[in-house]
């Protein structure tokens, strides 16, 4: 993700803008007005129309549905752009909360990928036709 971030409020708080551009975003809790995480796009869609997302939520805000809302917001933003055919994400190659978040928003496991520093990681994807919209 890029080094610059924009504020992105979760959920349904119109005091901050919705995602705008293939950037990174700071996730702001709407009621508490505190930073709960960050995430965004790892660049523009490639020539095949695939864009990759990434995210993280601070541990004290885990298990509140915020990651799911953030990821769904990024997916919705991506599929509002005609050029996007699919959204990818990677997780560690083991069952964990991130896998469950991606499954909740309709992403499917695609394959193992060998990463030079992390070892085996998992590739997840949702395409435009199967998006829960």
Structure token digits, residue 78: 């991506």
Q: How many angstroms separate the CA atoms of 133 and 129, rounded? A: 10
Query: Looking at the domain covering 5-130, what would its CATH class be?
Result: alpha beta
Q: Which residues on neighbouring strands pair with residue 125, listed in sequence order?
A: 88, 108
Contact 28, 18 (CB under 8 A): no
Q: How many CB atoms lie within 10 A of CB 15?
A: 9
Structural domain boundaries in the chain: 5-130
Percent of the chain with pLDDT over 90: 62
Q: Tell me what the mean pLDDT of segment 96-107 comes to.
A: 95
Q: How many angstroms separate the CA atoms of 118 and 4, rounded? A: 25
pLDDT category of residue 15 using cuts at 50, 70 and 90: low
Rounded to 5°, angle at Cα 19 from 83 and 4 = 105
For residue 115, pLDDT beyond 60: yes
pLDDT averaged over every residue in the chain: 85
Whether the model pTM is above 0.85 = no
Contact 41, 73 (CB under 8 A): no
Pairing assessment for the beta strands 24-28 and 35-41 based on DSSP bridges: antiparallel
Percent of the chain with pLDDT over 70: 83
Among 73-77, 90-94, 129-133, which stretch is predicted with the lowest mean pLDDT?
Answer: 129-133
Phi, then psi, of 12 in degrees rounded to 5: 50, 40
**Comparing 6 with 99, which gets the higher pLDDT?**
99
For residue 132, pLDDT beyond 70: no
- Taking only the tens place, the pLDDT of each residue in 53-68 is 999 999 999 999 999 9
């Amino acid at each position: 993700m890029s080094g610059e971030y924009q504020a992105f409020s979760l959920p349904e708080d119109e005091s901050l803008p919705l995602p705008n551009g293939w950037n990174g975003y700071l996730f702001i809790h709407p009621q508490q007005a505190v930073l709960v995480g960050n995430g965004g796009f790892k660049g523009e869609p490639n020539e095949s129309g695939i864009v990759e997302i990434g995210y993280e939520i601070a541990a004290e805000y885990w298990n509140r549905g915020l990651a799911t809302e953030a990821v769904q917001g990024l997916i919705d933003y991506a599929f509002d752009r005609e050029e996007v055919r699919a959204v990818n994400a990677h997780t560690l190659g083991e069952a964990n909360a991130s896998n469950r978040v991606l499954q909740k928003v309709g992403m499917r496991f695609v394959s193992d990928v060998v990463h030079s520093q992390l070892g085996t990681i998992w590739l997840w994807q949702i395409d435009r036709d199967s998006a829960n919209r």
